[in-house]
Amino acid sequence: MLTKKIAVLFSGSGSNLQAILDKVHNKVFNSVRIEVALCISNKADAYGIQRAEKYGLETKIIENKNFSSREEFDAALVEEIKKQDIDLVVLAGFMRILTSVFTTQIKAINLHPSILPLFKGAHAIQESFDSDMQVGGVSVHWVSEELDGGKLIAQRAFERKSQMSLDDWANAIHSIEHEILPEAIVKILCNN
């Protein structure tokens, strides 16, 4: 059976890592087994590290604060990823803007908590909530040098309900994220 290996990069709680581990790790789709072969965090205290451990996965810690430039940090990421035979890199709440050192060498997708091209960047949930938009949503896209600007792979929206709080908005986004990211991984690796 063909096995496709993914690397998951994260910076925080790892709830999207959890969704990937629960829904695709060591599971078979169209005769293709998907394995999370590498976890990388740029934060030594990221809760996602504990989530990975529950699946017997060790997380490689590569802290960006230990590098003098973005390019040096990206080169360290690329080196670690290339040690493994990785088919796809998944940015799941990885809070770093990546340079061409990474984007020209690594095939990667990113999860973004808005309907791109609207609300790019780190404050997308707050900005989309504060807007007049009557829908919020999530995008999965290929990683490129342009921040949140790569070719779209999948998007899913939800309607704004009256009296919706910021927490309600964020929870609706996270709920979609936990579905759409595993689905996108399967689509890319198993349906081609």
- The Cα–Cα gap between 165 and 161 comes to 9
Which own/partner contact pairs does 125-133 have at CB distance under 8 Å and 24+ positions apart?
Answer: 125/166, 125/169, 125/170, 125/173, 126/166, 128/169, 129/166, 129/169, 129/170, 133/160
What is the residue-averaged pLDDT of the chain? 96
- Domain range for 91 is 2-117+139-157+177-190
Q: Evaluate whether residue 93 is within a structural domain.
A: yes
Q: What is the dihedral of CA 98, 101, 104, 106, to 10 degrees?
A: -70
How high is the pLDDT of residue 74?
A: 98
pLDDT in tens, 100-140: 999 999 999 999 999 999 999 999 999 999 999 999 999 99
Give mean pLDDT, residues 183-188. 97
Tell me if 13 is assigned to a ligand binding site: no
Spatial contact of 82 and 7, defined as CB atoms under 8 Å apart: no
Q: Evaluate whether residue 124 is within a structural domain.
A: no
Total domains present in the chain: 1
Q: Which of 25, 112, 141, 178 is catalytic?
A: 112
Confidence at 151, pLDDT banded by 50, 70, 90 = very high
Give mean pLDDT, residues 65-91. 97
CB count in 10 Å sphere of residue 160: 16
Q: Are strands 32-41 and 59-61 parallel, antiparallel or unpaired?
A: parallel
Tell me if 96 is assigned to a ligand binding site: yes
Tell me if 191 is assigned to a ligand binding site: no
Which is nearest to 133 in space by CA: 147, 119, 120, 148?
A: 119
Q: Evaluate whether residue 68 is within a structural domain.
A: yes
Tell me if 15 is assigned to a ligand binding site: yes
- The Cα–Cα gap between 70 and 99 comes to 7
Catalytic status, residue 25: no
How high is the pLDDT of residue 191?
A: 82
What spatial distance separates the first Cα and last Cα of the chain, rounded to whole Å?
A: 16
Q: Evaluate whether residue 128 is within a structural domain.
A: no
Tell me if 160 is assigned to a ligand binding site: no
Confidence at 192, pLDDT banded by 50, 70, 90 = low
Here the CATH number for the domain that contains residue 107 is: 3.40.50.170
* Sequence-ordered alpha helix ranges (H) in the chain: 15-23, 48-53, 70-83, 100-103, 124-130, 166-190
Q: Evaluate whether residue 44 is within a structural domain.
A: yes
Give percent of the chain with pLDDT exceeding 70. 99
pTM above 0.75, yes or no: yes
Q: Evaluate whether residue 127 is within a structural domain.
A: no
Q: Evaluate whether residue 134 is within a structural domain.
A: no
